[in-house]
Amino acid sequence: MKYLVLAIFSMLGLAVVSLFVGVSDVSIRTLSDGEARPMLVFLASRIPRTMALILAGSAMAIAGLIMQMLVRNRFVEPSTAGTTESAGLGLLTVTMLAPGTPVFGKMLVAAVFALAGTALFLRILRQVPLRDVLLVPLIGIMLGGVISAITAFFAYRFDLMQSMLAWTTGDFSGVLRGRYELLWIGFILAVIAYLAADRFTVAGMGRDFTTNLGLNYRRVMALGLTIVSLVSAVVVVTVGMIPFLGLIVPNVVSLTVGDNMRRSVPWVAVLGATFILLCDIVGRTVRAPYEIPIGTVVGVTGSALFLYLLLRKRHHA
């Protein structure tokens, strides 16, 4: 418990650092002097951005943990199962057919597409003989590539490439007060995931085991996939795709905490927020005053850690 408290304080420390990192001169001195511009930037941009980072990081990490438990594969998460790519296709569809749809409506359409894409991924897994644990993420990456190609084709035909790039690249630079509040839905879904953690843990042991304990396997799967789809849609609509976050953090937590989801969820939430805060601070400082999109930073870091986990798995096998 004391280590979790230490992790929470580390996350809060990075959150405080995030509040004072950026191009505008926002510091304790300028805020205490009562200057109008620093206070406006602090309230309208820095606080919403930091809150968005915490909410998005924790929600996506928990979504990855749920997928890994339900699919029973440690190398699966929304960006390696076609879920986020399907959400992007849903956003493109609603933009083409009903461009005036409110943001909440776009989020619901993206969630439906994300759920359909995840269901297709699971259907493919049932049809393919899986002789190697690495075939599961490989199939998901291939499916995501096909969906991304379809999205790019229609975006090019309808002159929506700029919009598509905004969805496929995670970026928090445009987060302002009034433009991130949908991420609180992700927080609510994370709480639901914690309350249903024992059910997900049991479902991760297989259909027969779950049924023998008196649980409805289909309902538990439907609940988990709905949470994953809604979280993916909310994050993609608000800040864009953030790859590998839901893969790296749950694997790191499982190495120390184990596979009990009720114990893992708080750790995954805190470390997910900490990881994304750290990546965002690096992206804002390494080429200051310019900014590297967080999707790029997380993608580079996450892919390196992903390869390490793959090689580590091979070595132990």
Q: What average pLDDT score do residues 172-176 get?
A: 85
Cβ pair 302, 244 in contact under 8 A = yes
Of the pLDDT bands very low, low, confident and very high (cuts 50, 70, 90), residue 50 is: very high
pLDDT of residue 130: 66
pLDDT over 70 (residue 315):
no
Domains observed in the chain: 2-316 (1.10.3470.10)
Q: What average pLDDT score do residues 88-95 get?
A: 92
Cα separation, 89 vs 75, whole angstroms: 23
Range with top average pLDDT, 132-136, 150-154, 199-203, 302-306: 150-154
Q: What average pLDDT score do residues 126-140 get?
A: 79
pLDDT over 80 (residue 131):
no
Of the pLDDT bands very low, low, confident and very high (cuts 50, 70, 90), residue 313 is: low
